[in-house]
Amino acid sequence: MNPSPLIRRFSRNPLGRDLAVGDIHGYFSLLQGALDQAGFDPARDRLFSVGDLTDRGPDCTAVLEWLTKPWFHPVCGNHDDYVCRYESCDRENWIQNGGGWFQQLTPGEQSTFAAHYRTLPIAIEVATPAGPVGLLHADCPFSSWQGLLDQLDAGVSGGRLRAIKNVCLWSRRRIERLDESGVEDLVALVVGHTPVGLPARLGNVYYIDTGGWYPDEGGFFTLLDLHTLMPLPPGAVR
């Protein structure tokens, strides 16, 4: 069985830190400021993203430059999936949710963006000293991480794959129910999608979309250290 391109696995980082950031939504300049404040070293550290790279912010077209950075590793979010499906998605809904920037691109530029976005995995697994940490945009559709990996590695397709992706990219069921059952086979699952005032935890599921994309309303980028599961700078996890 060949590993699925929908999963990306990373070995331990022997040089520096592994950080995860919440939804970016086109605010790459502010993200860079947060990295600078955290002393991010691109020669040693890695940055993992829970997706939603664009829509809403002023720096959406900068995403292509960020995707070339060897230390930046995002999963696909629901807003990123709009780009992947730009020829068939609900454009009105997309525009209402910040997708106007994409409509202003030339057809050739749209095709280029889509080609890059279609390489994004649904899931990332990072080896850490404490064990594996998973990243998805929204939630895991199975009680165990291995259950998700088995389905994706088996090459599931069609309606079954759409159902899995729908949970991974869109679900808020766990946080709406305050479900603390967690996800087996992981030290932690790190997600975004649902804005929270401070980094939050339900079982071993960490929510880190603290609204770096709405800075005028007090939002900020959370950088979660995947080795310690503590945010930088140190702050409370509710």
pLDDT class for 233, splitting at 50, 70, 90? confident
Q: What percent of the chain has pLDDT over 70?
A: 97
Measured at the CA of 218, the angle between CA 213 and CA 220, to 5 degrees, comes to 50
Label residue 76 exposed, middle or buried (CB < 10 Å: 0-12, 13-18, 19+).
buried
- Give all strands of the β-sheet with 123-128 in edge-to-edge order: 7-10, 123-128, 131-135, 188-191, 205-207, 200-202
Helical H runs in 118-228? 145-153, 158-170, 173-176
d(CA 171, CA 192): 11
Q: What are phi and psi of 33, to 5 degrees?
A: -60, -40
pLDDT at residue number 71? 98
- Antiparallel, parallel or unpaired: β 46-49 and 18-21: parallel
pLDDT in tens, 149-158: 999 999 999 9
Residue matched to tokens 């999608």: 193
Tokens coding 185:
């086979």
pLDDT in tens, 93-124: 999 999 999 999 999 999 999 999 999 999 99
Measured CA to CA in angstroms, residue 113 lies from 9, 57, 61, 183, 190 at distances of 23, 16, 9, 33, 26
Tokens coding 237:
């996890």
Other residues' Cβ atoms within 10 Å of the Cβ of residue 86: 19
pLDDT at residue number 234? 58
pLDDT in tens, 37-95: 999 999 999 999 999 999 999 999 999 999 999 999 999 999 999 999 999 999 999 99
pLDDT at residue number 3? 72
pLDDT over 90 (residue 207):
yes
